[in-house]
Amino acid sequence: MKILLTGATGYIGKRLLPVLLEHGHEVVCCVRDKKRFPTEGIYKSDRISLFEVDFTKELPSAKSIEDIDATYYLIHSMSSKIKDFEKLEEISANNFVKLMKQTAVKQIIYLGGITNEEKLSKHLASRKKVEEILSKSGIPLTSLKAGIIVGSGSASFEIIRDLVEKLPVMITPKWVNTKHQPIAIRNVLEYLVGVLLNEETYNQSFDIGGPDILTYKEMLLQFAEVRGLKRYIFTVPVMTPRLSSYWLYFVTSTSYKLAVNLVESMKVPVVAKDNRLEKMLGIKPIPYKEAVELAFQKIEQNNVISSWKDSLVSSYTDNSLLEHINVPTYGCYIDRRVKEIKGSVDKVLENIWSIGGERGWYYANWLWRLRGFLDKLVGGVGLRRGRTNQNNIYTGDALDFWRVLVADKENKRLLLYAEMKLPGEAWLEFKITNKDGKHFLQQTATFRPKGLLGRLYWYLILPFHFFVFEGMAENIIKHNRD
């Protein structure tokens, strides 16, 4: 079958794609930017094709996807804006329906949120509105509604992990007593595949959840048990939603805009009302603690397939990679270091590909951490995003407070774009070049200032750059000599 997959570079989409390929399907991946799509491993499959579309803008021709059999709607705009994400979700859903009406698609499969309460958060109300728009399309809709998804790299999992692993004692808002029904990512994928062109599920909506109904406090404490940690949680009734958002933002790796929307949703109970689909598909729900254990198996094996941090929602602005892919030269300040590689070129390349995250930046890591802390103070992303995989980097990945624009291992080039808050724009590029039979590491930092403040910023930090960039280039070489 030919399947159209929206949100193909998102957390769920990256997990669902290999499962669909395993089942023998041909998959058309909808992407806003083809350059963000990975080109290694399973992504080289001849059963994958790309369809570039931004559902918030003018639609392209549907001619190349006219023959699709089914489609997954996995688009989520919750973190695009603090105030306007509902409007963006509605525009995206309506445009998606317009495009699907130009095809022969037999089924739309939608993954939304559980909406059984009368009073919903803006996020959950928006999810419900999207379901209504899709249901009126005239195309059979199967709607799956889930609560917290437990899996390595999911936003909820990583937030809980940050809280548990960093705070022995937590002073928490009262929303930690809200009841939720978490579900393992493995079960979510089973449901998504199980309903595919299953006519028994057409024009129906199903709540999906795990076997446990827990408060956030219980989830935090059970998470701690799995990790062998003793944690103490004290709840206070006076923490406002704004303070709660700041608390999440500073303690965890989440962005502030995501924290604001999450806090509002955390106050609403999210409990499934039926398990019809579980019985129809013969799915065995995975308990919460087991789901946490399975997630850590992936983490320990360095086999995390996708992370919410790699989505642009983890940025403090919603930049398209295409806007920054060409590094400017006019009106820029440039720091370039060229070092001869006297050892193994492959080891130097490996070192470049391992930069950031737990490995750090090879020189004065305390300064990088300080810069990340200062970035957090002014509403930036900070260093806590880390990296999804310790060995592999793909275009579009988040890398501490950078975004990967180019990860071309074959041509030995890594280009990063700064997502910290700056009075300008910054790029950091690593290339291995060959000249007269010798190999060189070329490390280039480019800064394009905005106004006088940007110029002052560059000269204020220039002394630090001399030591940091020189030391980083030197150590990348030294650490890899035979």
Q: What is the reported pLDDT for 84? A: 65
**Is the pLDDT assigned to residue 101 strictly greater than 60?**
yes
207-216, 261-270, 302-311, 430-439: range with lowest mean pLDDT: 302-311
- pLDDT top residue among 260 and 370: 370
Average pLDDT over residues 125-143: 91
Q: What is the reported pLDDT for 80? A: 46
Dihedral sign for Cα 320, 323, 329, 333, please: negative
pLDDT band at 126 (very low <50, low <70, confident <90, very high): confident
Give DSSP secondary structure letters for 388-436.
Answer: S-SS---TT-EETTEEEEEEETTTTEEEEEE-S--SEEEEEEEEEEEET
**Is the pLDDT assigned to residue 309 strictly greater than 70?**
no
Residue with token string 């190999």? 439
CA gap 81, 313 in Å, rounded: 9
Tell me the two tokens of residue 312.
């642009």
CA gap 19, 25 in Å, rounded: 9
User: For the domain 2-301, what is the CATH code?
Assistant: 3.40.50.720
Q: How many residues would you count in the chain?
A: 482
- pLDDT top residue among 201 and 384: 201
Dihedral sign for Cα 132, 137, 143, 149, please: negative
Q: What is the pLDDT of residues 237-287, one digit of tens each?
A: 776 666 777 767 777 766 666 666 666 667 788 899 887 899 999 999 999
* Backbone torsions φ then ψ of 204, nearest 5 degrees: -135, 155
321-478, CATH topology level = Alpha-D-Glucose-1,6-Bisphosphate; Chain A, domain 4 (3.30.530)
**Is the pLDDT assigned to residue 481 strictly greater than 50?**
no
408, β-bridge pairs: 413
Please state, for a pLDDT cut of 90, what percent of the chain lies above it.
Answer: 43
Tell me the two tokens of residue 411.
């041509």
- pLDDT top residue among 109 and 451: 109
Q: Do 191 and 277 form a contact (C-beta atoms < 8 A)? A: yes
Cα dihedral 130/135/137/139 (nearest 10): 130
273, β-bridge pairs: none
Q: What is the reported pLDDT for 69? A: 95
User: Do strands 398-399 and 402-408 pair parallel, antiparallel, or not at all (unpaired)?
Assistant: antiparallel
Q: What is the reported pLDDT for 262? A: 67
Q: Do 469 and 335 form a contact (C-beta atoms < 8 A)? A: yes
Work out the angle between the directed axes of helices 11-22 and 185-194 (0-180°, nearest 10). Answer: 50
153-162, 331-340, 404-413: range with lowest mean pLDDT: 153-162
Average pLDDT over residues 132-146: 94
Q: What is the reported pLDDT for 79? A: 47
> According to CATH, where is 3.30.530 located in the chain?
321-478
Tell me the two tokens of residue 296.
């850590």
Average pLDDT over residues 48-60: 89
Q: What is the reported pLDDT for 82? A: 47
> According to CATH, where is 3.40.50.720 located in the chain?
2-301
Average pLDDT over residues 54-64: 88
pTM of the model: 0.77
83-97, 175-189, 197-211: range with lowest mean pLDDT: 83-97
Q: What is the pLDDT of residues 429-474, one digit of tens each?
A: 999 999 888 999 999 999 999 988 989 999 998 888 889 999 999 9
